[in-house]
Amino acid sequence: MNHPLHVGVLALQGDVREHLEALLRLGVDAVPVRRPAEIAAADGLIIPGGESTTMIKLARNFDLLDPLRDRIAAGLPTFGTCAGMILLADRIIDGTADQTTLGGLDITVRRNAFGRQTDSFETDLALTGLDTPVHAVFIRAPWVESVGPAVEVLGRVPDRADLGPAAGRIVAVRQGALMATSFHPEVGADGRVHELFLDLIRTR
C-alpha cells in the first residue's frame, strides 16, 4: 500500500472518539464510518467498545449488517475491542435472547464476564508482538471462553490465584485479518496495540 492508511472506526455508539484519537496519534488517516460506501473505502476497521446489543441494533437500523458481514468475510482487516470483540464473535454466552453478531472470529465470548466480580478491572498482561506488558483496562468486558483451531491466542489475564475466575482467561485473539481484545487499548497513551493492528493491515 503506498497511500497513507485509511482506517475507519464504526461510529454507531461507544468509544469512537478515543479510537480516532489513538489512530491520529499514530499518523494514519482515521475517520468515523457509518455508511456502506465509507466502509467500502476503508483499509481497515475498528469496532469500538460500548454496548454490543445497542451497536448491533443500530447496525441493523442503518442497513449495515450485510455490508459489514460481506466486507469482513472478504478480508477487511477488522479490530474489535470489548463490545467490538462480541460483535466479531461467532458465538456468545450470556447475550440477550435475540442477540446476534457480525461474526467472523471462531470464538465463544462470555459477555460481562468480569462484570460479575467487579465492573472494571485493570492488569498488566503480556501480548504476542509486544516486548513489554500492556496495561489492560477492562470495563464490563467479555472474555474468550473457547477458540477454534484457526484462532491465535495473543494474550491472557495473568494466571494468578488472586485474580479468581479471571485468572488465565483469553482476552486477545487473532484469526487471519481479524483481531480482538476484551480490554480497551484506546484508554491511555500506549498506542502499541493499535500499532499491531496497523501492522496487520499493512501485511494483508
Which residues are designated catalytic? 82, 184, 186
Q: Is the dihedral of CA 45, 49, 53, 58 positive or negative?
A: negative
140 contributes a contact to ligand GLN by CB under 6 A: yes
What is the C-alpha separation between 156 and 148, in angstroms, rounded? 16
By beta-carbon proximity to ligand GLN, the closer residue of 7 and 83 is 83
What is the C-alpha separation between 31 and 117, in angstroms, rounded? 35
CA atoms within 13 Å, Cβ hemisphere of 80: 34
- Tell me the closest approach of the beta carbon of residue 85 to ligand GLN, in angstroms: 8
Radius of gyration of the chain (CA): 16
- Tell me the closest approach of the beta carbon of residue 124 to ligand GLN, in angstroms: 19
C-alpha cell read off for 133: 506488558
- Tell me the closest approach of the beta carbon of residue 178 to ligand GLN, in angstroms: 17
Report the site for ligand GLN in 74-103 (rule: CB under 6 A). 82-83, 86
44 contributes a contact to ligand GLN by CB under 6 A: no
Residues that bind ligand GLN (CB under 6 A): 49-52, 82-83, 86, 111-112, 139-141
